[in-house]
Structure 1
Amino acid sequence: MTAKPQVKPERPWFSAGPTAKRLGYKLSALPENLQGRGIRAPEVVERFAYGLRLTREVLNPPHDYVMLYTPGSDTGAVEAALWGMLGPKPVTVVAYENFGLTWASDVKDHLKLNPTVVKAPWGELPDLSAVDWSNDVVFPWNGTTSGVKMPDGDWIADDREGLSICDATSAAFAQSLPWDKLDVVTFSFQKALGGEAGIGVMVLSPRAVARLDENVPAWPVPKVLRLTGKDGKFDRALADGVAINTYSVLTIEDWIDALEWAKAIGGLEALIARTDANYAALSAWVERTPWIDFLPQRQAIRSTTSVCLKFTDDRVAALDEKGQKAFVKRFKALLEGEGAVFDMEPHRNAPPGLRLWCGSTVETADVVAAGPWLEWAFETAVAEIG
């Protein structure tokens, strides 16, 4: 039996969203001078615009791509793209985890577009060569709930007729994105940089903006998802920090804090390097631990941020799904009762196992320190099976 470890992670937060704040973060350090001001006040709009400029500076998309905020985090950003841009062409949805399946359901059940759905089991990618690029194509870049990522953008046609609509919420700021292959990129504050929830970001290529200018949806678009103005064309004011509805000024200040930290440590290259170091530390632990393995078997498609793991121990495998979920619940309770590792459970719709976030706001030393605690919790929970 493994003895209870003595050294705990200093920052034991491994949730896949909201993710850990940066080292040294203090809520009290955020500016308060615009709290209580109107969302249309010039100073507030400029602060929102500054957040977009910082986002562009760190993320570095092409200069002719536009950027805007949406309500509802990444979900709101994806939905705004679906409701505002789909319709002129057939639709394909690539679904290999929970959110891809959600987008497929929304396109089918709410927009009534009868999409082609290209599926794969948990831990795998589908056959991407089956994607028809005369269609609009909706896909996650990194499956937050399955631990699977796209290995590259080679499968996306350069001469595509349709739009490539990419949910990149657990990839942005942590993995390299092939911008020339992507027409719509969405993400939220609360993933890679540990921001607060409720606001999403869309990055639109000129092709995506042209679609908004030309497309008249066959359905009424709710105001919180509406990207066009009274003239029916893309509302250019959104790219200048104007809000679709009332956003939290405090949330924007929190986002700016994260971006200024990202700039200070070296920008996107440094963020990716920190993520890769965290993933390498966790991967080394997995490789030497006999009862655990990656959910994705292929190394090239393993996520470096939302790392999803499965149990390989026969005693756990012998349990039915209900028993395995109870095992994970006990595993979690043991760790959190010691204040050692928080929020390591998988998404509720994913197979039973572990999920640990390894994005840039996590410290590698904390990933290393988590390993012995995971071993202790596993052996303790297994012993209770009997």
Structure 2
Amino acid sequence: MDIKAAVTHNQDTAFELETVQLAMPEIDEIRVKVIATGVCHTDVVARDMGIAPFPIVLGHEGSGIVDAVGAGVTDLQVGDPVVLSFAHCGNCGHCLTGHPTVCDTFNELNFGGAMDDGTHRLAQDGETLATFFGQSSFATYAIAKSRNAVKVDSEVDLALLGPLGCGIQTGAGTVLNRLKPEFGSSIVIYGAGAVGLSAVMAAKIVGCQHIIAVDMHDSRLELAKELGATHTLNGENVDVVTEVKKITDGGSHYAVETTGVPTVVKQSLNALRSLGTVAIVGITPEMNIDVHNDLMAEGKSMIGVIEGDSIPRVFIPQLIAYFKAGQFPFDKLVKFYDFENINQAFEDSANGITIKPILRVGS
């Protein structure tokens, strides 16, 4: 069938809305009429750094209505509201033990450009188009494996829910699923974007005593306070490590580093107390640390966390329940854009004007 999609033909180019062809869903696949899709920094990385093959249809925070099902799909049916999340095989040891975010074939399935059987569902003028994160949701319709789709509460605005599939669950899940801070402990969130602010809200849910947000934009720090931060630090104006140690009486128990900036990563590690743990979730380049003084000598831990170590079919409904209860107001991060304004949405995100853009694709 013919659909409209934002096609990326080459690295570091603007999005173009074009007509492409979408095949029928195969075994264990569903077709989703996309209602909305979040704009995530990983889409920027894929577009500008070429981590996936071109030409490609990006987008990986889709939400929509199941429109068709392939053979073997028994857990979803036409008309179900769903959020699309990351691709995973469902069969490897990590998937089977509740850690699909480190699926043995995670990189291949999400960045390799094809479905898990090696074939493609998107084409244009006889040329195949690569798929992103097993969904390619910058389009009016998307094909995904049924296991990568999460049926969601129909009482909540479906257009709002797409970012739960990646960015929002990354921040919240890193706190709730991996770090699991104790009641009364201290945590520092480095970077007050969508991922960091989701971590702030999660830290408030579990009852951290000190929730410190660090950023360079005062407007984002003000929102962090509204969402649960007990303290905020502008990294351009203060010595972050000194201030964190002062607030927490010696250093934080936990930290979440979302920026990927090497100097900030060092801050997150140096501001920990002995036996503290920092979770790295931002895409970080090669950097140097003094392993003895920065890490080992005080028994600290630095861990990498992907997608909040979440099981989307379990975790996303939990986040929606917290949202409905008023405890996880992630809607305060969001600004909606028409699909045709996709380039403006990316520009506003890059400039810090919008924390989490969502593209309205269908109705």
TM-score w.r.t. length of structure 2: 0.35
Q: Which has the higher helix share?
A: 1
User: By percentage of residues, which structure has more strand?
Assistant: 2
TM-score under structure 1 length normalisation = 0.33
**Relative contact order, higher structure (CA 8 A, sep 6+):** 1
